[in-house]
Amino acid sequence: MKIFKARAPMRIGFFGGGTDVSPYAEEHGGKVLNCTINLFVRCMLRTSPEPGITIRSLDLAEVSRLAAGRTWDGRLGLPQAVLDAHPDLHPDGDDAPGFDITMFSDVPPGSGLGSSSALVVSMLKLLYAAYGAASDPHTLAELAYRIERVDLGIPGGRQDQYAAAFGGMCVYHFGGPRVIVEPVLTDPAALLELESSLIIGYIGDRRLLTRHLMEDQVQRLVQGDTLRYHDETKAYVDEATRLLRELRIDDFGRLLHDAWEVKKAFSPHIAPPIVDEVYNLARQHGAWGGKITGAGGGGFMVFACPFERRLELERVLSEAGVLVRPFSFVSQGVQSWVVNGNDER
Which residues are designated catalytic? 160
d(CA 10, CA 132): 25
- 172, 227, 228: which is closest to 20 by C-alpha? 172
Given a contact cutoff of 8 angstroms between Cβ atoms, the answer to whether 44 and 3 are in contact is: yes
Beta strands in 126-237 (DSSP E): 169-174, 180-185, 198-202
d(CA 169, CA 253): 16
End-to-end CA distance of the chain: 13
Given a contact cutoff of 8 angstroms between Cβ atoms, the answer to whether 200 and 325 are in contact is: yes
CB atoms within 10 A of CB 23: 10
What is the identity of the amino acid at 222? V
d(CA 195, CA 252): 12
Given a contact cutoff of 8 angstroms between Cβ atoms, the answer to whether 221 and 231 are in contact is: no
55-to-74, 233, 252 alpha-carbon distances in Å? 9, 39, 42
